[in-house]
Amino acid sequence: MGVWRRIILPIVRVVLVAAIAVALVKIAFFPDASAESAPAEASASIEEPIVTAELSSLQNSLTVPASVRADTAVDAKATLQGSVSELTVVVGQKVSAGERIGAVRQETPVDPITRVAPDGTESVVPQKPKVVAEAIVAPAAGTISALPVIRKQEVAVGDVVAKITPDAFIVQGSLKPEDLYRLSSIPGEASVSLKGGPGEFTCTSLQISDPATAGDGSAVNSADPSGEAAGGGGGTGLTCRVPAEVRVFSGLTGALTIQAGSAENVVTLPTTAVKGNADSGSVWVQNAEGEAEERPVKLGITDGVQIQIVEGIAEGDAVYEFVPGTDATDPESTGCALQPDGSEVCDEGLVP
């Protein structure tokens, strides 16, 4: 036992330490030549995602942010040149359409008459002026909001005698110019949902026009004198009238939805797979060599997520899910959609 501890164990320890030292020297200064000549190669490959054209139904509902404001004041104008002889209303007074609110009096001088007496003397007889009066009536029912003239003031034809704010409200919004491609025709009404307001209701007299026409009495000018509609400026103006039986207040916000058509059992693809979204565009398919090949297609309606393929692609055809060269993480292509209550929902959930 004494020999094992004093002689054999120390020798074994020395041999193990020497072997470890030799191995470390070999690894550090004499690497394996075969390992250097054959570097590791990546075994994974990146493949572009593919989608298949499918038959489905599309509902082209275009939803935009909107807000409520009081209807634009209308002007009661003078239709006769003369002086204001009568004002029967005051600011804040309610009036009905066609109600008399004042009058304009016009006096036209009449030349005097010269009379000759039997004795031959002449005398000049003055004549009373010719008097014409016309009533000023309210062009719409509402509340007198301003009276820019006073009694006995001279006015010309077309001068504003009173301003009347109708007892009505307008829902206003703004469309992106590219959204107009989704409106093959403009319906006469739209549905409105307001935060904290009444339930969803239908507004009428839907009007859409370009902001460039503002200032000429167009729908945009009447919708928003500042030229900026709810949801941001610079877009295409959009207004409709709130029914009289619906109780709303200025400043309420929400969403306005236009039903712009539908299609049943049509070939569709995700909008991310199509370059262009109006009338015509392109998709990319894989050719025999395994490369992306562009193919023109004719397009129909879209709901913002799926788009109708009228020609160029048939049901079951496989195409690339994303247009080559586009960023799939672009916020414009994340599949976010504005909801009727004004909130925005994306693939990852609700956006506050």
| Six-digit token string for 32 | 């394996």
Integer angstrom CA distances of residue 261 from 60, 168, 258, 268: 5, 29, 9, 15
Lowest mean pLDDT among 87-91, 113-117, 151-155, 293-297: 113-117
Distance CA 267, CA 283 (A): 14
> What pLDDT does 14 receive?
76
Distance CA 216, CA 314 (A): 48
Average pLDDT over residues 222-228: 39
Predicted confidence (pLDDT) at residue 214 exceeds the cutoff of 50: no
Mean pLDDT of the chain: 79
The per-residue pLDDT for range 286-326, each reduced to its tens digit, is: 887 778 888 899 988 888 788 888 888 888 888 888 888 77
* Residues 6+ away with beta carbon under 8 Å from 201: 191, 192, 242, 243, 246
SS3 310: strand
Average pLDDT over residues 247-252: 91
The per-residue pLDDT for range 330-351, each reduced to its tens digit, is: 545 444 555 544 455 554 444 3
Distance CA 292, CA 275 (A): 14
In percent, the amount of the chain with pLDDT more than 90 equals: 27
| Six-digit token string for 349 | 């959930």
pLDDT-based confidence at 110, cuts 50/70/90?
confident
Structural domains of the chain ordered from first start: 50-62+261-351 (2.40.420.20), 65-71+168-259 (no CATH), 74-166 (2.40.50.100)
Lowest mean pLDDT among 211-225, 241-255, 257-271: 211-225
pLDDT-based confidence at 51, cuts 50/70/90?
confident
Predicted confidence (pLDDT) at residue 127 exceeds the cutoff of 50: yes
Average pLDDT over residues 2-18: 74
Stated length of the chain: 352
What letter represents residue 49's amino acid?
P
Predicted confidence (pLDDT) at residue 226 exceeds the cutoff of 60: no
Tell which residue, 222, 229, 227, has the closest CA to residue 212.
Answer: 227
| Sheet strands side by side (includes 337-338) | 337-338, 344-346, 349-351
> What pLDDT does 116 receive?
81
SS3 2: helix
The per-residue pLDDT for range 141-188, each reduced to its tens digit, is: 889 999 999 999 999 999 999 999 888 899 999 888 878 877 777 788
Average pLDDT over residues 126-146: 90
pLDDT-based confidence at 232, cuts 50/70/90?
very low
Predicted confidence (pLDDT) at residue 235 exceeds the cutoff of 50: yes
Lowest mean pLDDT among 23-37, 126-140, 195-209, 315-329: 23-37
- Contact between 265 and 55 under an 8 Å Cβ cutoff? The reply is yes
pLDDT-based confidence at 328, cuts 50/70/90?
low
Enumerate the β-bridge partners of residue 161. Answer: none
> What pLDDT does 217 receive?
39
pTM: 0.55
> What pLDDT does 135 receive?
93
The DSSP call for residue 72 is P
Q: What are phi and psi of 2, to 5 degrees?
A: -65, -35
> What pLDDT does 223 receive?
37
Q: What are phi and psi of 47, to 5 degrees?
A: -115, 140
- Contact between 297 and 309 under an 8 Å Cβ cutoff? The reply is yes
Long-range contacts, stretch 242-247, CB < 8 angstroms, 24+ apart: 242/68, 242/168, 242/169, 242/170, 242/171, 242/192, 242/201, 242/203, 243/201, 243/202, 243/203, 243/204, 244/167, 244/168, 246/198, 246/201, 247/198
